[in-house]
């Protein structure tokens, strides 16, 4: 099955307001009419400004996190209601930096996933193993656990609004990239595991992105793999000249 590439940029904790707006304007202009699917994950504080730029374009606006609860006494949190009010359509959840720097548990990530989906937001769910886990031969086991835990309670119908991003933690921001063959092997495993959790149709239609130092120089070879359907791009998404070449492959 031929799947449209879904290329997403995760800006993480970067850019100023002016830089965010300028970058969004560049992307809207350069990606207009292009055939693939595009998303940018913008820092909370710039979502409103960027929303005004991408409104009506072919670029999906995403937040990098969301609260697991509704509005209320949750100091510092940002709810699905607030995100939708700003025009946000998607949220990145389960990123390794949230898991390993912030200490988010699989149970909390699952609550966020279900909250977002139930409130009409699409989800980009990140999974991936640490270097120590890969060296111990546990990459598939880790991905299977994070998948089943993250998708607990998610219905077959809701899976149409879920994208899976496989990001080997050891390759994020390090310049190291899984070889296309290694990445393909895990992506194939993930698709097979989705079939076990749901069915073959859900698995075949699932969009599975690769993340972890994807850039213009290696993106074509990675995206040529049969089970790699796109990319969740970090550093290379912070400039139009490094992001757009990946988007238009």
The Cα–Cα gap between 185 and 179 comes to 10
The distance from CA 139 to its chain's CA centroid, rounded to whole angstroms, is 19
The Cα–Cα gap between 16 and 113 comes to 28
Is 95 a known active-site residue? yes
The Cα–Cα gap between 27 and 73 comes to 37
- Going by their DSSP bridges, the two strands 230-233 and 207-211 should be labelled as parallel
Q: How many CB atoms lie within 10 A of CB 164?
A: 27
Q: What φ, ψ does residue 13 adopt, rounded to 5°?
A: -95, 70
The Cα–Cα gap between 166 and 184 comes to 10
In 43-89, at which residue ranges do the beta strands (DSSP E only) sit?
59-63
- Which of 5, 95, 97, 104 does the annotation list as catalytic? 95
Is 205 a known active-site residue? no
Q: Which residue, 125, 78, 75, is CA-closest to 98?
A: 125
- Which of 97, 104, 167, 187 does the annotation list as catalytic? 167
Class of residue 241 by CB neighbours under 10 A (exposed 0-12, middle 13-18, buried 19+): exposed
Q: Tokens standing for 148?
A: 């089943």
Catalytic sites, residue numbers: 95, 167
């Amino acid at each position: 099955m031929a799947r449209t590439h879904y290329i997403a940029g995760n800006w993480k904790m970067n850019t100023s307001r002016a830089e965010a707006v300028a970058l969004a304007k560049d992307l809207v202009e350069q990606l207009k009419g292009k055939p693939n699917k595009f998303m940018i994950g913008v820092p909370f504080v710039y979502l409103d400004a960027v929303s005004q730029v991408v409104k009506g374009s072919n670029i999906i606006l995403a937040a990098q996190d969301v609260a697991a609860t509704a509005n209320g006494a949750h100091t510092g949190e940002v709810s699905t209601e607030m995100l939708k009010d700003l025009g946000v359509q998607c949220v990145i959840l389960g990123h390794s930096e949230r898991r390993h720097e912030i200490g988010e548990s699989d149970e909390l990530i699952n609550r966020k996933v279900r909250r977002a989906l139930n409130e009409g937001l699409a989800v980009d769910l990140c999974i991936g193993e640490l270097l120590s886990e890969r060296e111990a031969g546990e990459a598939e086991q880790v991905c299977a656990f994070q998948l089943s835990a993250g998708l607990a309670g998610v219905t077959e119908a809701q899976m149409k609004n879920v994208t899976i991003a496989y990001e080997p933690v050891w390759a994020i921001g390090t310049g190291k990239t899984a070889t296309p063959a290694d990445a393909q092997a895990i992506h194939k495993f993930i698709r097979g595991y989705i079939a076990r959790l749901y069915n073959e149709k859900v698995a075949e239609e699932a969009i599975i992105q690769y993340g972890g130092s994807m850039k213009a120089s290696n993106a074509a070879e990675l995206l040529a793999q049969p089970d790699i359907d796109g990319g969740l791009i970090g550093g290379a998404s912070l400039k139009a000249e490094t992001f757009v070449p990946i988007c238009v492959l």
